[in-house]
Amino acid sequence: LDTFMFAGHDTTTSCISFAAYHIARNPAVQQKLYDEMFQVLGPDFKNTQLTYSNLQELKYLEMTIKEVLRIHPSVPVIGRKSAHDMIIDGSKVPPGIDVAILIYAMHNNPAVFPEPTRFDPERFNEENSSKRHPYAYVPFSAGARNCIGQKYALLEIKATLVKLLGHYRLGACDPANTVRIKTDMTLRPVNGTFVKIVER
């Protein structure tokens, strides 16, 4: 039960918090998100009944969430145990060895994601995504032991951001100030994330 509570709550709130931070600091992204929601969900989208179907149509919102999870993956490191002999970066790893996979480091690798600190949802458009190795981006892990709740989590994050941006315009408190992070079980801002909220 504890695992499900942690996996379903802390990780989702972490992503929503970082999403608000990045959207507030990138007015062009915020406007594009608003325009997409207006076009897909209608002019009164803040009161629209959200469904699985209409949330799936918000492609730019999905790209934005992916970019948030690239820069600030909710779970920055995962552990696995080697099942058989493997070669990792030229080193032999025998069976039964604990292996730490540093998702945060992978997602901020400039060889894979140029200018990794720059927030750019277009990294996840169809063309750019097709050029990367499928395991270059793994915020929910991958393979047989990936996160069983990832689809639900993404729906929850999308619905929250639609309602947030439908009611409020977000602004950066201090555009020059970058959030400081610490690594626990989840990636967290040291002192929270601060944004200005103006009612639309």
- Binding-site sequence positions for heme: 147
* Cα separation, 88 vs 49, whole angstroms: 48
Nearest alpha-carbon partner for 161 in 13, 11, 2, 4: 13
Q: Which residues are annotated as a binding site?
A: 147
Q: Which element (helix H / strand E) includes 164?
A: helix 150-167
* Cα separation, 75 vs 86, whole angstroms: 24
Q: Could you tell me how far CA 180 lies from the centroid of its own chain?
A: 17
Residue 18 amino acid letter: F
